[in-house]
Amino acid sequence: MDPIRDLLKDADPVRHETIAPADRERARRAVLAAAEHPHARPSSVGRRVVLAAAVTAIAGGAVAGGKRWLGATTVHAAAVRFEARLAETTPTLDLQPVRVAPDRTIYLHRDVIVTNDDVVAARVVPGNAPGRFAVAVTLTRSGGEKMRAATAAHIGRPLALLVDGVVVMAPTVRSAIAAEAVLSGDYTHEEAARIAEGMLVR
Amino acid sequence: MNGAPMAEALPAAMTDVAADRLARLFDRHYERLYRLARRLAPSADAARDLVQDAFLRAARSPNAIPHGARDEEAWLVRVLVNLQRDAWRKSAVRSRYAGSPHHVSTIGSVESAVVARATVWRALDALAPRRRAVVVLHELEGLDVRAIASLLGISGVTVRWHLSRGRRELAVRLGALKKE
């Protein structure tokens, strides 16, 4: 007799539960759908709620500097570091200045609101010009809550979205941003695909 | 929308053959993987998420999956255990139990068996994922040390160490229940 083993066997939920065919089928459909769209990470069993975008309020456009991969001819699944940080339009000593356009400098807060760990899906979407593409980023529930809390108190001031340490977007927050944002960085499809895929590499 | 259709530029877009293989992989291993996930995760919901995430990893990395039922299974099990480890690191499960090895002392004889089972399962929740996997595979799935080592890609010595430490941790946490 082994008391630990006996306790475990008695408590084993597999003995008392069954797999619901509907759950299995839902998972199967999600997995096979992912085979067709490997960039996207479908919500798990339909229970991870992907909140709709509140207002992304993109005021900034593409910013020069985030194009270090432009010369690449092959899309690699290399990790891309994604960060969202609050920013200001006026400097203080503890903020990091970043020139995002010839006539525009923003000042980054050091605290990071969300990172790759908070991204549940990243997909390529049409951009603002023919042949140009953007990356739509969907955050996890907790990531969305963090983003909402941070931006709700930051109306009228910039939010910086960074890829590999480079500010690629600096929109002015018009209202609290929930769980989705679009990096309209004016990318080629290949660049956008690389970013989308890289965001999901852990 | 202008520009190339999105599907054109998807890197390594899956061929029909790969999609068929993924479907076979799912059909062949889902039940076994779910059983393991249910024994590793704190809830049925978490187990379903865990299994789905493991297969999604397979969907995104079709070339990484070895061929052959046994190697496929080992690959999926390792992915599942690693995913659970990632989730565990982010959760507060560890802190919930840290420093409170005698939490089961409140379980009285009048409490139901359901409560006792939940207590046992919460004690398992406190084990590090790989250790929990070793304990589960040995105690509940009846695998020997060599099979566990092969499945998890670790040495037999490491398996024995996790088994010993895991059982000891459970014994401390379940001390009150063992006496009942």
Percent with pLDDT over 70 in chain B: 73
Residues of A in contact with B121 (CB under 8 A): 11, 13
ipTM greater than 0.85: no
The SS3 call for residue A168 is: strand
**Which region among A114-123, A151-160, A172-181, B99-108 has the lowest average model confidence (pLDDT)?**
B99-108
Residue A200 · residue B60 · CB < 8 Å: yes
What span, in angstroms and rounded, lies between the C-alpha atoms of B159 and B153?
10
Question: Strand pairing partners for A122?
Answer: A137
Closest CA to A163 of A128, A195, A188, A133: A195
* Nearest residue in chain A measured CA to CA from B27: A28
Residue B12 contacts A, CB cutoff 8 Å: yes
What does the pLDDT average to over B26-49? 89
- CA nearest B167 in A: which residue? A4
pLDDT in tens, A19-55: 888 888 888 888 887 766 554 444 433 333 222 222 2
Q: Which residues contact B30 (CB under 8 A, 6 or more apart)?
A: A24, A27, A28, B51, B55
What residues are paired with A182 via a beta bridge?
Answer: A136
> A31 and B26: CB-CB below 8 Å?
yes
For chain A, give the mean pLDDT: 71
Has residue B4 got a pLDDT over 50?
A: no
Q: Are A126 and A133 in contact (CB under 8 A)?
A: yes
H or E element in which residue A96 lies: strand A96-101
- Residue B146 pLDDT: 92
**CA B104 to CA B102: how far, in whole Å?**
5
Q: What is the reported pTM?
A: 0.51
On whether any CB of chain A is under 8 Å from the CB of B86, the answer is yes
Of B6, B34, B60, the CB nearest to A19: B34
What pLDDT is stored for residue B164 in this prediction? 95
Q: What is the pLDDT of residue B168?
A: 93
pLDDT over 50 (residue B72)? yes
Tell me the chain B residues in contact with residue A17 when contact means C-beta distances shorter than 8 Å.
38, 44
B134 neighbors A26 (Cβ within 8 angstroms) = no
Q: How far is CA B118 from the centre of its chain?
A: 18
Q: pLDDT at residue A161 above 50?
A: yes
Residues from chain A that touch B167, judged by Cβ atoms under 8 A, are 4
What is the CB neighbour count within 10 angstroms for residue A79?
14
Q: Which residues in chain B are closer than 8 Å to A36, comparing Cβ atoms?
A: 14, 19
Please give the Cα distance from B42 to A59 (Å, whole number). 43
| Alpha carbon separation from B47 to A13, A101, B155 (Å, rounded) | 11, 48, 26
Per DSSP, the three-state class of A121 is strand
C-beta atoms surrounding B27 within 10 Å: 11
Q: What is the pLDDT of residues B129-165, one digit of tens each?
A: 889 999 999 999 899 999 999 888 889 999 999 999 9
Top residue of B1, B117, B170 to mutate, by most chain A CBs within 10 Å, is B117
Determine the Cα–Cα distance for residues B79 and B66; give it in Å rounded to an integer. Answer: 13
Helix (H) or strand (E) holding A149: helix A141-152
Mean pLDDT over A111-132 rounds to 82
Query: Is any Cβ of chain A less than 8 angstroms from the Cβ of B172?
Result: no
What b-and-e string marks burial along B100-131, b requiring 16 or more CB atoms within 10 Å of the CB?
A: eeebbeebeeeeeeeebbebbbbbbbbbbbbb
What digits encode the pLDDT tens for the residues A177-188? 766 777 666 678
CB–CB contact B11 A11 (8 Å): no
Between A186 and A83, the more confident residue is A83
Which residues lie across from A54 on neighbouring strands? Answer: none
Q: What is the pLDDT of residues B86-127, one digit of tens each?
A: 777 766 544 444 434 333 333 334 345 666 777 888 888 888
Chain B residues with CB inside 8 Å of A39's CB?
10
Q: How close, in Å, is residue A126 to chain B by CA atoms?
A: 6
**Would you state the pLDDT for residue B177?**
60
Name which of A77, A126, A197 is nearest B1 (Cβ-Cβ).
A126
Q: Say which of B1, B34, B139 has its CB closest to residue A5.
A: B139
Indicate the pLDDT class of residue B179, thresholds 50, 70 and 90: low
Mean pLDDT of A54-73: 28
pLDDT in the model for residue B145: 94
Geometric angle at alpha carbon A39, from A34 and A43, rounded to 5°: 55
Higher pLDDT, A169 or A7: A7
Q: Which of B10, B30, B76 to mutate to test the interface with A (most CBs of A within 10 A)?
A: B10
Give contacts of B117 with chain A, Cβ < 8 Å.
Answer: 10-11, 13
Res. B47: pLDDT tops 80: yes
Residue of chain B with shortest Cα separation from A126:
B1
What DSSP string describes B44-71? Answer: HHHHHHHHHHHHHHHHH-GGGSPSSHHH
User: How many A-B residue pairs are in contact by the CB < 8 A criterion?
Assistant: 136
Interface contact A27-B117, CB threshold 8 A = no
